[in-house]
Each structure stands twice: as C-alpha cells, then as structure tokens.
Structure 1
Amino acid sequence: MNAPAAPERTSHASRIQRVVSKSGVEAWLVEDYTVPLIALEFAALGGSSQDPADKSGVAYFLSGILDEGAGPYDSAAFHERLDECAIELRFHADRDVFSGHLRTLAKRKDEAFEMLRLSLMEPRLDEEPLERVRHQIEAGIRHEMNDPDSVVSRAFFEAAFPDHPYGKQVHGSLESLPRIARDDLLAYQGRIIARDAIRIGVVGAIDAAALAEALDHVFGGLPASAKRNPVPDVAPAGVGSRKVIPLDIPQSSLRFGGPGLARRDPDWIPALVVNHILGGGVFSARLFREVREKRGLAYSVYSHLAPLQHSALFLGGTSTKNERTAESLALIESEIRSMADDGPTADELDKAKKYLVGSYALNFDTSTKIASQLVRIQLDDLGLDYMDRRNGLVQAVTLEEAKRVAKRLLGDGRLLVTVVGQPVGL
C-alpha cells in the first residue's frame, strides 16, 4: 500500500506545507495524489526513558496495547474494524520516542482518523488483552535471554549507561512487567502524549484544510503540555573495558563502541561520512573489507552513529567463531585506530560522498518513508529545508575536515566491548 513519491519538483521544501490546526496542533504535509493513499506518522519525545524507575517496559507495553480496543470496540471488534476499512495502525516505543503509524485509503480517511483518535483518547485496556500482551512481551524477553545478539546488546547498554534510564531495557524485564498495572499505562500516556510534544508528518491524497480538521479531531483533545521527568545528559561509561558473558554457543557476538556525536553537532555530517568509510558502507567499508573479505573472520561487521536525546554513541558489532574472537576484535580495534590517526584517503572520501548523495533519495521512495523523514527532521529540529540542504552538506566535506572529525569521533581508539559466547583469548 506504499505510495511512490511524486517526481521531484524545484525542491523538497517547496512541497512541504506547515499545517497548524485551530487547537495548535502542527503537522508537515506533502500532498501527493499519485495514488489514493494517506500515510501519517507521529512521535512524542519520551520513550522508555520516561518509564517509572521500578517499572521498566511501560512505554513499550503501552505501544502494544493501544490497538487492542478503544471506545465502543473491544479488541476483536477493533481489529475487525481496521480490517474491513483496510486501515493499518500501529504504535512503537524506543528509548527516546513514543510513535504511531497510520496508513489508509483516502476514501477511508474519516474512519481511519477516528480509529486513531479512539486509540489515543479512549483506550480500553481491558483485562484480557492486557494480560495477553503482557505474556507476549514476557515470551519475547525469554526468547531474547537465549539470543546472543539480544544478550550482547543488552549487556552493552547496561555497561554504557549504569544507573541511567538508557541502561534499562525498552521491553522491560521479567521482574518489572508483572508490576505494571493499567493505571501505570494511563499515567504514562497522559504525561507523554500531549499537543506540545507530538511531531506529525503526513503524505498523500489530502489537502491542508482537510488535514487541519483531522488534526483537531484526532489530537485536539490531548493534554496541552507533556510532563516529562528530567533525564540527565550522560556520556557512555566503561570505555576501554571488556565484558564477557559466557554462553554455550559456537560463535561469539560482539558489540563495541564509545562516545558519538549529537545529531545537531556541527560535525555530524563529516562524522556520517567517516563512519560510512569505516563501517557503515557495508561492502565498501574498511571493516567489512578487512574482517570479512581478506580474512573471512565474520559474515558481517558494521558500525554506525547512534545519537540519543541525552547521549550519543559510536556503535558497532559482529559475530565470529569463538576461537577467532580475539583476532577479530584486535583487527577491528586496529582499523579504528588507523582511521582515528590518519583519517580516510581522498579516494575513500570521494566514493563515500557519491554514495551518500546518490542513495539519499531511497529515504523518499514511499509515502510512509517520506512521512517518517518529516517527523525525524522535526524531532531533530533540522529545519524545513533540511532535505534540500543535506546533500550539499555531504558534498562540502573536505579531506582535511574528515581527518579532523575522524580523530574527534574515534579519539584514541579505545572501546567499550561486550561479548557473548565462549571467546578464546579474551
């Protein structure tokens, strides 16, 4: 049901309309009548970092229950209504954001907007779906406890952010989930999902006047202001240390990382280019070339920048045979130090910039992707014209700048490393 993006006109920014409803709800709109579909994405800052200290998992639990009955519809009737109107509705929570996704045929927009409104304003949270969703999340957690990639990721965040909300699991734990009651979910929703907190992107067959009315209908009844608890800014801890979690498996899973850059840091774009060369470019990246192609140590290896609302990470990972774990980690650390000390070559920089510029359009090839980008740009406060400016910023990165930022990003090459498996030599 994804609608292809319309042919590019003079600029992305010229196609984006700021729509503000009578109740003050703002959305960014791209009208597109190529196909009769509408995609709406919204997000509110908060996420699992706003979970009560002793009840991790509230935000994620709420995201799983909001489409399980609302207003006059119990869970079964709610899903039947979505199906008969061909409406796609879902919610999600990560560490920083609680978000929602709606996709509908234009002729069904009134029904779709009403179902979204009911989810946000009149969720039932009936006992049967409440317990069913709770058990589903608990089953997922039990599965993750035996999944090396999940275990190593959890261990990394616990080591990087001790005594901080980021160190707790988004899904919660087997200890915290039974403590979460219906009132906890309603209290979280009332604090976080508010008119001043939501950022909305809409793409499709709807004009500004109709959207303004829909914004008031869906979001106008929300609280005026969010009441988020303060979350301290924090730098990742444990850099230079290694933590091994024994698990009887033939391969070891690794996560490695250290401090990154905030999304609005002036060096973000050069850092994006540097990371693409180091580990973000998949087949063209140094880590992939050295670890997989030349030595066959791992099937895949990667790195990426992970900016959080209250921190920032340079983060990477791989999986390799237990007996080759030490060798693989030593090679990864060597490549990171080399990039920090010498930076990229002119040829690497040129190829990375061409790829990042050429592939940027893939972020806008469906209506859902465009709506998601509109929300992300609002959350990061990058400006209405960012999509027009972004490729120029990439192209402007010089070799001198890339070398300077590589040193700033990667420092002395020391990493926080977590490993799950039976690694030899660590």
Structure 2
Amino acid sequence: MSHYLKFTRRFVCKLAIALAATLPAIAPSQAATKIQHLVSPGGIEAWFVQESTVPLIAMEYSFAGGASQDPANKPGVGNLVADTLDEGSGDLDSEAYHEQLERRAIELSFSVTRDYFHGSLIMLKEHKDKAFALLHSALTSPHFATADVERIRAQIMSGLKRDTTNPNALAGRKLMEMAFGDHPYGRPTSGTLESVPTITVADLKDYTHRVLAKNTLKVAVVGDIDPATLGKLLDQTFSDLPAKADLTRVPDIVAAKPPQRAFIPLDVPQTVITFGSPGIRRHDPDFMAAYVVNHILGGGGLSSRLYHEVREKRGLAYSIYGALTWMEHSALFIGNTGTRANRAGETIDAIQKEVRRMAEDGPTQQELDEAKSYLKGSQMLALDTSSKLAQGLLQYQLDGMPIDYLEKRNALVDAVTLDDAKRAAKRLWGQGLLTVVVGRAPQAVAQPVAAPAATKAN
C-alpha cells in the first residue's frame, strides 16, 4: 500500500472516530488520580486510564532499540520494518489486511526513533477484539513479501531523493552528523540512498526478532475498557513475542563541543539555519531548569527571546524556535529558522548574540515567572484527548518517571529558581553553537567565525 493510500486510510479512520464521538478533555490533575499500573495475567505491564465518556480506546506502546539497532552499514532497517510490518500478516495479504482496518476504522501505525520502535492503535470499543488481533498478527507473523518490501523501499527512496533538495532535511541530518559523528545517533533513521537498496528481507526479519520482545515493552492505554478485559487483550497481543530482546549495546555520548559551523550550498529561495548545542539529559538534576530556560530563549513561540530579536526586532525570519531533545544515551538542544540568503550572516549573528546573552546573564525573574506559569497551564492542553494522554503516559514511562509524575510535575516546575535557570543556561549555551547553513548563502556565511566568550559548564 502506498504512503498516499496509507495517509488516506488513516485520515478516513480518524474522521470516522471523530464523528463517532468528541474526545473529552482530561486535565492532568484528574488523569493522574486515575492512572493504574495494570499487570495482565501473563505479566504484561501497562499504565492505564479507564475513560468511559466515549466508546474509544487508544494504545501507545514501544520496544527499546529503535534505529540505534540498525547495522552500522545499513541505516534504515528499523524504518523499513516500521513501514512494512502492516503490509500483510498471518493469512491476510497487504490488501486484505488494510481492508480489515478500513472496514472498522481502526488506526494502526508503526514508527521508529533513534531509541525506540513505536506502535499506535486507536479503535472504537466495539472493534477492540479485531483491532488487537490484527496488531498481534502484524507483530508475530508479518509477511515481508518481496513485492510489498520493494514497493515500500521505492517509496522510501523517493522520499530520500526529495530530501536531497530539502534544506531543512539536509540541515537536520548534517547537524546530527556534526553532533554525534559515527555514533548510531549520527546516522539518519530513515537510511540513505546508498544503504536502503542493500537492506534484505533477512535484515527485516532479523531486526524484528531481535527488537520486538517483551522485556523492553512499555504500554499505555486510555479508553473505554475495563482492566480485566484489557489484561486479556494485552496477553493475546504480546505474549507470543520473544521473552528477551537481543540488542546491540549503544554507548553514551556527549554531543560535539561548539562552536562549529557547516555550509551546504543549495539553490533554494530561502536559506535555512539549524543550530544546536550539547543538551541536558532527562535525569540530570538541571533538566527541569533547562526545560524552563529553553522556553524563555526559543521554545515560547511568540514570547521567546529569539523570536523577539530575530523576527520582531530585526524582521530577519518568519519564525524561529529552539527545543530540547533527550535520548537514552545523550541530549541535544536544537533550533531552526529560515531567512533570505543576503541576511543569513546577520541572522546568525543575532542568534549567537542572544544565545550568548542568555548564557552569560540568564533570564530575568519576570521571564522565569511567566515561563513557569505558561508551562504549568499548557500541560493540560497537551494531554486533552485520550490519544494525547496515552502518548504522554508512554513517554513518561520511557523517561523513567514515577506513575504519579503528572501530579508532581507542576511542583517541579515551580521549584526552579533563578539561580537554577542561570546555571542551566550556562551549561547549555556557554560554549556557543553548532551551526548548519543550507542555501544560496554568500561565501562569508560558510566561513567559521570567532568563538563567543566561552564559559565553562558546571
């Protein structure tokens, strides 16, 4: 099935579910009191919120490994597995399998990140038995038929070829290479034009057998189902998987030390600038302070410092953002913007100046108070549907958070002091930035510039 047809099918499924019911808002304070640690009769664990307002069930789950388990010379194996796992299984070929999904408006999908192989399953309550059965079939007896694999491979190759003229894709890929080198994090999760043609069906089967195993499985379910019924369905779905994954060890790594700059020439109307720096990992004591101070610098949309300096004050770009990315073995701050080629140098200077100011002086108390207020309130909107809540609960499990984390989160945000924020800012940006420029930039843009005054991270 083509990516276009898959998109169309998923749109139709989402529309059918939306027409069936309007999802209720679930405030974190309410959801936290309802989260159950469910253990099925067969030992499958899940975080579960029973929500009977609408006849809908949303499940998010993942297995450890992700794209980091691709062979070093074959990046893209996990991604190809994710795209072909639902292309026929058991006694159903690809067309029949998707017809079963469509007929019942079941939304089933797989994806891969650097650390995890993710799955999502959303269904109306009346179709839960069939939905879980189809998922079980895909996980335990995928066909990986040659014709289907070649069709999906061609689609991935088409996307990779488009990426060669996509400035954002080129910049993002180069930044990860710059930050992580030959570490698995430095390899593109979707593979390369050279690696994807070499991936065999045997590679797909080997990856599936090594990665999709019960001992690394994390599950989150929100919806109209009772615990006993859910436990039985979880056993029926996951119990036939291998007991233990056979994962290749991935070492911890600190992103490359700034400042560094790379330039990729590309004849496009707008020059793209992607920038970053070593981040702060999820269990670092400074993580929450980093999360708050990042919101002030670049994560706060129209209220961020970068937006004010680059967009409002100088009119250099339409939008600009910065975000913290944390992984199992490293962390990264990543930002992005786009501007006219003849203003790329000015834009980089403005970004570096504001980043340096934040690293040296930190935020003001007013900025800190406003950021904390926003971050506490926005969490309610981030988890306002069953699907979003399931995604959030899964992420908290992957992050190693306690099951009552939602109840404690706002207090953790409130506990961030001005000194904490200043310390985190210095750690994140005290050494400057990794910068990638893609576009019709003047030659001067490609040249390294003097490093900003470096301040040792604590």
For Structure 1 versus Structure 2, the TM-score category normalised by the shorter chain is over 0.9
Q: Deviations over 1:24-64 (max 9, x none)?
A: 21111100011001001101121111101111100000000
Structure 1 stretch 415-424 or stretch 376-385: which is displaced more?
Answer: 415-424
Q: Which residue of 1 aligns with 2:456?
A: none
Q: Which residue of 2 aligns with 1:59?
A: 78
Q: Deviations over 1:341-364 (max 9, x none)?
A: 111011111111111011100121
Structure 1 stretch 64-73 or stretch 7-16: which is displaced more?
Answer: 7-16
Q: Which residue of 1 aligns with 2:118?
A: 99
Structure 1 stretch 130-139 or stretch 154-163: which is displaced more?
Answer: 154-163
Aligned pair partner of 2:205 in 186, 196, 203: 186
Counterpart-to-counterpart distance in 2, 1:113 and 1:23: 16
Q: State yes or no: 1:140 paired with 2:120.
A: no
User: In angstroms, what is the RMSD of aligned CA positions?
Assistant: 1.3
Q: Which amino acid aligns with 2:315?
A: G
Aligned pair partner of 1:70 in 89, 98, 104: 89
**Residues 369 and 401 of structure 1, relative CA distance in 2, 3 Å threshold:** same
Q: Deviations over 1:168-218 (max 9, x none)?
A: 111101111111111111111111111111100001011111111011100
Alignment of 1:291-370 (within 5 A): 291-370=310-389
Alignment of 1:264-283 (within 5 A): 264-283=283-302
Q: State yes or no: 1:421 paired with 2:439.
A: yes
Aligned residue for 2:325, secondary structure, equals strand
Deviation at 1:408, TM superposition (A): 2.0
Q: 5+ unaligned residues in a row in structure 2: which ranges?
A: 1-16, 446-458
Deviation at 1:416, TM superposition (A): 1.0
Identity of aligned residues (%): 48
**Residues 390 and 379 of structure 1, relative CA distance in 2, 3 Å threshold:** same
Q: Which amino acid aligns with 1:191?
A: R
Deviation at 1:13, TM superposition (A): 3.0
Q: Which residue of 1 aligns with 2:105?
A: 86
Following TM superposition, the consecutive aligned residue runs of length 4 or more in structure 1 with deviations greater than 6 angstroms are none
Alignment of 1:20-39 (within 5 A): 20-39=39-58
For normalisation by structure 2, the TM-score amounts to 0.91
Alignment of 1:120-139 (within 5 A): 120-139=139-158
Structure 1 stretch 282-291 or stretch 397-406: which is displaced more?
Answer: 397-406
Q: Which residue of 2 aligns with 1:244?
A: 263
Aligned pair partner of 2:280 in 252, 258, 261: 261
Q: Deviations over 1:71-118 (max 9, x none)?
A: 011000001011112111000001111100001110110000000000
Q: State yes or no: 1:43 paired with 2:43.
A: no
Aligned residue for 2:234, secondary structure, equals helix
Deviation at 1:8, TM superposition (A): 4.7
Q: Deviations over 1:377-423 (max 9, x none)?
A: 110111101111111111221222211221122223x1111111122
Q: Which amino acid aligns with 1:71?
A: G
Counterpart-to-counterpart distance in 2, 1:152 and 1:226: 34
Deviation at 1:255, TM superposition (A): 1.0
Counterpart-to-counterpart distance in 1, 2:412 and 2:272: 35
Aligned residue for 1:171, secondary structure, equals coil
For the 8 Å contact 2:253–2:329, the answer to whether it is kept is yes
Q: Which residue of 1 aligns with 2:448?
A: none
Deviation at 1:119, TM superposition (A): 0.4
**Residues 84 and 248 of structure 1, relative CA distance in 2, 3 Å threshold:** same
Aligned pair partner of 1:289 in 298, 304, 308: 308
Q: Which residue of 1 aligns with 2:138?
A: 119
Q: Which amino acid aligns with 1:37?
A: L
Q: Which amino acid aligns with 2:244?
A: S
Deviation at 1:4, TM superposition (A): 2.6
Structure 1 stretch 250-259 or stretch 28-37: which is displaced more?
Answer: 250-259
Structure 1 stretch 30-39 or stretch 7-16: which is displaced more?
Answer: 7-16
For the 8 Å contact 1:12–1:385, the answer to whether it is kept is no
Number of residue pairs the alignment of both structures matches: 425
For the 8 Å contact 2:323–2:335, the answer to whether it is kept is yes
Q: Which amino acid aligns with 1:240?
A: P
Counterpart-to-counterpart distance in 1, 2:359 and 2:258: 16
Q: Which residue of 2 aligns with 1:377?
A: 396
Aligned pair partner of 1:392 in 396, 411, 420: 411
For the 8 Å contact 2:25–2:385, the answer to whether it is kept is no
Counterpart-to-counterpart distance in 2, 1:400 and 1:162: 34
For the 8 Å contact 1:270–1:397, the answer to whether it is kept is yes
Aligned pair partner of 1:110 in 114, 119, 129: 129
Counterpart-to-counterpart distance in 2, 1:7 and 1:251: 41
Q: 5+ unaligned residues in a row in structure 1: which ranges?
A: none
Q: Which amino acid aligns with 2:410?
A: N
**Residues 293 and 105 of structure 1, relative CA distance in 2, 3 Å threshold:** same
Q: Which residue of 1 aligns with 2:254?
A: 235
Counterpart-to-counterpart distance in 2, 1:115 and 1:71: 9
Q: State yes or no: 1:215 paired with 2:238.
A: no
Q: Which amino acid aligns with 2:342?
A: E
Deviation at 1:9, TM superposition (A): 8.9
For the 8 Å contact 1:82–1:88, the answer to whether it is kept is yes
For the 8 Å contact 1:30–1:203, the answer to whether it is kept is yes
Aligned residue for 2:268, secondary structure, equals coil
For normalisation by structure 1, the TM-score amounts to 0.97
**Residues 238 and 251 of structure 1, relative CA distance in 2, 3 Å threshold:** farther
Counterpart-to-counterpart distance in 2, 1:232 and 1:37: 40
